Amino acid sequence: MDVNAAPDPGEARDLPEFISALVRLRLWAGGPSYRTLAKRVGPLMRPPQVLPHTTIGDVFQDRRRWLDIDLVTGVVRALGLSEADVARWRAACVRVHAEAKSGPAAGVLRQLPAGVATFTGRERELAGLTAAVDAARRTGTTVVISAIEGMGGVGKTQLALHAVGRLADEGRFRDAQLYVNLHSFDPERPPADPAQVLDGLLRALQVPARQIPAGLDERAAMFRDRLHGRDAVLILDDAAGAEQIRDLIPASPSCAVVVTSRRSLAELDGARLFALDVFSREEALELLVKVVGRERIAAEPEAADEILAAVGGLPLAVALIAARLRARPAWGLAEAAGVLRARGLDAIRAGDRSLRSVLDLSFHGLSDGARAALGAIGVHPGADYTAPAIAAVTGGGVAQAEEALEELVLASLARERVSDRFEVHDLVRAYASEVVADGASFDRAGALARLSRWFLLAARSAASAMDTPALPDLADPDPGDLAPPVFDSYDAAMAWFDAERENLVAVHRAAASADLYEVVWQLPIATGQYRKVRFRMAEHLEANQLALDAARSRGDKSVLGWHLLLAAGPLQYLDRREESGACIDEALAIYRDLRDARCEGWALLEKGVLDNLRGRHHEAISALERSLVLNESFGDRRRVMICGVNLGVAHAHLGDPKAALRFFEPALAEARANDERRAVCILLGDIGEMRLALGEIELARSSYSEQAERTAALGNRYDHAVALVGLGDTLKAEGRFDEARELWKQAYEESVEIGSLRVDAIRQRIQALGDPLSS
């Protein structure tokens, strides 16, 4: 067979095959546009006439039941064939029409709707579908080729049609290509009854109406019998679930079935599941280009990016915005992006199609519990959701929330990428926020207050498991009917903080916007120790700033002073010492004005720490000694210990390591006794440094080794890097330069990853040994 030759119309067995050959002939002739063909064909007609391009386009649509033979003759002639070939095409057209009048060829049935010309991407899924067909044919097993699941608008139907159409073009499904829309999410009609579906399928398979049984089971048996051994495919589109389609599945290994549904079809025996996700950015851009045109996209790339970000890769949303742009050639992409910003979901429409109506259908099919969970998601400002957090909003139990979230997953409105943590598409969340949570019966403000308070209680519980020190007079809030989690270990608390970190930031911001004062000022305290361990200093400062703003607006001086001092430490870590000093000075003035000697002792302690950093070690000793007296008078052993640590630091900087050890070692004993894990880590490093300064290398190495072990266990990367540097220093002191360099490189990489200011000092150590480490 010559692949470069024009198709042979004599091979067409029926009208659809003739039209398919006509499509291939147009491609063989160079693929002239319908407008071009219309201009060529019009003068060839008898009489000559002006033809609209749509008339020409209709000739190539395989859904046609008849063709104008003279028009086909003109099209073939316009495609450049000889008169002899034109005559052959005309004769073939007459023949397939004559055969069509007496009914289709036995067993040949093509019901597939036309796919979209702009079908985009999905190569992985298409490959999977093809592999499933091939595997079934090799093994001879009865199989549901694919159950395509996904949220409304994700492109399930188009994938099914495109995949089956491509397979049919490759020669599969020669006997029958059946299609049924089950209308499970159609507002105009109820879901299709399986018995009625079978009646229609049997009629399509040429079973006389009087022979079709009345009962569902008998119809299903006859359907299986009529398809047995036939090379056929059945698309069951928009299924309500497995129960609706079980009786519609053929039994013959020669048949394939493709099902699409918004609900999970995991219970469908033998099904290979394809959970269809949204487009990647590249696929979404490709679709936009196909519909709108490359030149318009290239002219406004930033606006195109904003549009793609707004629709989040949902194929229907991309297609609807693209259709609006195509219909309005003068409409700029920047204008479309502005409309999206201003109108949200209501802007994602074209003609009588809209994304909101698609989401409405999914929402109305949910139970009351799942609707309530979706409402909670509309209030939750975070990126993912857990059953306990949703239960805090809805007021139900955690088990009920788990069931509701699972229903949302089964309805393709949520997904579970990580066990017990759920996500929704941004547009679903916008729908939940605008439509569900704004309902008259939904108390949005109360829901946010409950959620924020639950996060505060949970964070305080986790902080307690981490031995986070409490501030003076910080009473435990009343949990009411909320049930925050309880953590039985440091590691469990850290894992919860790690998992909820982004949510904690989002909830805190939302609480600040809603003026939920208790949460705004207490949440940064509960998360402070965690953020120090993970070196999340920018997050720590943002949280403190929100609390400071709230305290200033209320004139709450005690809380204002606390957060000024809580901000001082992170500012020092980030080398913003002037700002840190201003915070400490303001806090000192507040506490002296309030005659709060206990908090004044805390402020003097922070001043001593900062003076050490500034190199003002004598001033540091003065401030720390005053702080020590005040803290001892209140029996605050923890701050007494910290004063000792920093007095040791001051003496170390003044060149007296023995005096420094006289402060460090009692402080270490106090920290160990009170299980102050981070303080133990810091002191081990300080003691190691002093032992090294005194030439006591083995004692120094012992301290640094314990520090490295403890900080690794705590996930404290900042102090772990300190320990690695110290161990390297002990090796260098023994002349083991290569080993020292390797430890410093590890410390350097860790410090770079967390944004530590120690990076330059570590780099200088490495380069001093002749390693050309890039700066």
> How much is the pLDDT for 470?
61
Q: How many CB atoms lie within 10 A of CB 690?
A: 24
| Whole-number Å distance between alpha carbons of 449 and 452 | 5
> How much is the pLDDT for 1?
42
> How much is the pLDDT for 218?
92
| Whole-number Å distance between alpha carbons of 83 and 136 | 46
- Whether 596 contacts 604, CB under 8 Å: no
Q: Which of 516, 515, 541 is nearest to 528 (CA)?
A: 541
Percent of the chain at pLDDT exceeding 90:
45
Has residue 615 got a pLDDT over 50? Answer: yes
Q: How many CB atoms lie within 10 A of CB 632?
A: 14
Average pLDDT over residues 95-118: 62
Q: pLDDT, tens digit, for every residue of 417-440?
A: 888 899 998 888 988 888 766 665
> How much is the pLDDT for 107?
38
> How much is the pLDDT for 449?
94
Local confidence band at 63 (pLDDT 50, 70, 90 cut-offs): low
- Whether 271 contacts 259, CB under 8 Å: yes
- Which helix (H) or strand (E) segment holds residue 149: the answer is strand 144-149
- Token pair, residue 245, equals 């389609």
Q: pLDDT, tens digit, for every residue of 151-176?
A: 888 888 899 898 888 888 877 888 88
The more confident residue out of 347 and 584 is 584
User: Helix, strand or coil for residue 146?
Assistant: strand
Q: pLDDT, tens digit, for every residue of 652-698?
A: 999 999 999 999 999 999 989 988 888 899 999 999 999 999 999 99
| Whole-number Å distance between alpha carbons of 493 and 458 | 10
What residues are paired with 109 via a beta bridge?
176
- Whether 237 contacts 180, CB under 8 Å: yes
Q: What type of residue is 148?
A: I
Has residue 105 got a pLDDT over 50? Answer: no
User: Helix, strand or coil for residue 233?
Assistant: strand
Place of tokens 């009351």: 368
Average pLDDT over residues 178-190: 81
> How much is the pLDDT for 104?
38
- Token pair, residue 283, equals 């696929």
Has residue 454 got a pLDDT over 90? Answer: yes
| Whole-number Å distance between alpha carbons of 698 and 395 | 59
- Whether 173 contacts 160, CB under 8 Å: no
DSSP track, 332-359: -HHHHHHHHHHHGGGGSEETTEEHHHHH
Listed in sequence order, the residues at least 6 apart from 130 whose beta carbon sits closer than 8 Å to its beta carbon are 163, 166, 167
- Token pair, residue 533, equals 């361990």
pTM strictly above 0.75: no
- Whether 482 contacts 390, CB under 8 Å: no
Mean pLDDT of the chain: 87
> How much is the pLDDT for 50?
87
DSSP track, 360-424: HHHHHTS-HHHHHHHHHHHH--SS-B-HHHHHHHH-S-HHHHHHHHHHHHHTTS-EEEETTEEE-
> How much is the pLDDT for 108?
44
- Which helix (H) or strand (E) segment holds residue 490: the answer is helix 490-513
